[in-house]
Amino acid sequence: MITQSHYTQRRLAAIVGGILGAGAAVLSSNAQILLTDGDASVNVDPNSQAGVYDWEVGGINHLAQQWLWYRVGNTAEASIDTLALSAITPTGTKQVQLDYSGAGFDLEVNYSLTGGPAGSGVSDIAEQFTIVNTSESALDFHLFLYSDFNLAGTAPDDTVTSVNWSPFPFSAPGYNSVVQVDGDNLQQTTFGTFPNRAEAEVAPLTLGKLNDGAATDLLNTGAGLGPTGTNDMTYAFQWDLTIAAGSSKVIGVDKRLDVVIPEPTTAALGLLALAALFQVRRRS
């Protein structure tokens, strides 16, 4: 349910986004980013593990959390919000680039939201992650993408399945899709750059491993990903990269929602009709 306070905050964020839409770089320690297009919106918090959240289509939120973790060598993973955030660069109201810097590398994170017309139930987020080795030696870099979708706004009744998912090390062309479903609601993730490892688990098991202070490799468990039952499911992917000095690697990911937009109930339609009649009587 969208409260008046929530609505006011989102409108303010949209106004700020419009002002910055020319593409000027901005930086704030408490920046909250709202992307909007068509009948879809998504929030991004670049300074905490909340990350990308509140992906709404038709007024229903389908995403609890999506964010990135990284590891250099065999050190413990850390979420990218622990890095130095040097710039936030929006383009219009539907796209943003986040620039982070670490010891010996830079990380550029791009999100681009596409929404459909009202009632369509479709939306897409194109994501691109660019790792630049700024050191003078090869960089052993590992990137993790964690997702916790709650399709239809409910947590405990989702199923994660793999589609044409290859065995480890997940490198065969065409094996590049993962699907999460809740009834007739569907979320699909595809890759321009194939991950090396993957894992699906009941929340919050994978998140706990990414935050446990030890080096983690995702398990490649179960039928390609992990548990196949219906639960509050999450999934994650891992890219293991060796980046030459002065070079970069680009990872492309696409996430799509195809969800059911509930029809207005008879009671709701009746209230709208009464409100319209009340306005007519006031004018007369």
Alpha-helical (H) ranges within the chain are 4-19, 205-210, 266-283
Compare 283 and 146 and report the one with higher pLDDT.
146
Q: What are 204-261's pLDDT values in tens digits?
A: 999 999 999 999 998 875 444 555 568 899 999 999 999 999 999 999 999 999 999 9
pTM of the model: 0.82
* Cβ(200)–Cβ(225) below 8 Å: yes
Question: Tens of pLDDT along 83-95?
Answer: 999 999 999 999 9
Q: What is the mean pLDDT of the chain?
A: 82
Max CA distance (Å), the chain: 78
Select the more confidently predicted residue: 270 or 39: 39
Q: Which residues contact 282 (CB under 8 A, 6 or more apart)?
A: none
Give the Cα separation of 145 and 237 in Å (integer). Answer: 5
Q: What are the tens digits of pLDDT across the range 133-147?
A: 999 999 999 999 999
Question: Residue 11: which pLDDT band, with cuts at 50, 70 and 90?
Answer: very low
Which of 51, 242, 212 is CA-nearest to residue 146? 51
Residue position matching structure tokens 């699909």: 188
- Rounded distance, CA 240 to CA 131, Å? 12
pLDDT at residue 6, rounded to an integer: 44
* Residue 262 pLDDT grade (very low, low, confident, very high; cuts 50, 70, 90): confident
pLDDT tier at 29, thresholds 50, 70, 90: low
> What percentage of the chain exceeds 90 in pLDDT?
62
Identify the pLDDT of residue 229. 63
Chain mean position to CA 108: 15
Between CA 72 and CA 65 the distance in angstroms is 23
CB 66, CB 146: distance < 8 Å = yes
- 176-217, pLDDT tens digit by residue? 678 899 999 999 999 888 888 888 888 999 999 999 999 999
Per the DSSP assignment, residues forming a β-bridge with 132 are 106, 248
Question: What 3-state class would DSSP assign to 81?
Answer: helix
State the Cα–Cα distance between residues 12 and 6, nearest whole angstrom: 10
